[in-house]
Amino acid sequence: MSDCCGTPKSNDAARSCCGGSGDKIVLLYACSGGANVAEISDKAARELMFGGCGTMFCLAGLGADIQGMVQTARDADLNLVVDGCPMDCAKNIFDRQGLTNYRQIKVTDLGIEKVKGIRCTQEQVDKVVAKAKEVLSNQE
C-alpha cells in the first residue's frame, strides 16, 4: 500500500535515481511468468520499487478485471510494463483493458534468452533495471 496521497515513502529517495517526478504516480508491473525472463522481470520491478522508482502493482488483478485495480492503472501518470518475452502478455492485458498510459520494456529485447528451468543472474536484472530507469527518465 502506498503512503497516503499517492506515492510510496521510498519514492523520495529514488526520485533522484529516476530523475525526479514530483507527485507523479508510477506503477510497475512484471509478467512474472514461469521462465527465467519472467523471474528477471519480477526482480527488476521489485528493485525499481524498493529503489523508489514507483509502486509495484498487480498485473493479475488487471487481467482478472478487478475494477479498482483497473481504475488505479487508468489514473496513474505512468504504468511501466516489464514483459519477459515476445508473447507480450502484460502489454496485451493493458491493451485489452483499453489502457494507453503505459510504456513497455521487454527482457528478451535486451539480449537475454528465454530459457525454462534456470535461475536468472543479478547482471541480467541490473540490465533490465537500467533500461527501465532510462525509460522512466525519458518520461519526465
Partner 1 sequence: MKKLQVLGTGCSKCQKLAANTEAAAKAMGIEYELVKVTDINEIMEFGVMVTPALAVDGEVKVVGKVPDPEAIQDFLK
* Residues that bind partner 1 in the complex, under the rule CB under 8 A: 1-2, 4-7, 25, 27, 55, 57, 61, 66-72, 74-76
Q: Which is nearer to partner 1, 71 or 121 (CB)?
A: 71
Q: Which is nearer to partner 1, 71 or 92 (CB)?
A: 71
- For the bound state, the minimum distance from the C-beta of residue 23 to partner 1, rounded and expressed in Å, comes to 9
Q: How many Å apart are CA 101 and CA 74, to the nearest integer?
A: 7
- For the bound state, the minimum distance from the C-beta of residue 29 to partner 1, rounded and expressed in Å, comes to 12
Q: Write down the residue that cell numbers 492503472 correspond to.
A: 73
Q: Which is nearer to partner 1, 19 or 61 (CB)?
A: 61
Q: What is the DSSP letter of 3?
A: P
| Cα torsion through 102, 58, 74, 99, rounded to 10 | 50
Q: Which is nearer to partner 1, 29 or 40 (CB)?
A: 29
Q: Which is nearer to partner 1, 28 or 107 (CB)?
A: 28
- For the bound state, the minimum distance from the C-beta of residue 22 to partner 1, rounded and expressed in Å, comes to 13
- For the bound state, the minimum distance from the C-beta of residue 19 to partner 1, rounded and expressed in Å, comes to 20
CA of 117: how far to CAs of 33, 40, 120, 122, in Å? 12, 13, 10, 16
Residue 80 · residue 103 · CB < 8 Å: yes
Neighbours of 28 (CB within 10 A): 24
- For the bound state, the minimum distance from the C-beta of residue 26 to partner 1, rounded and expressed in Å, comes to 10
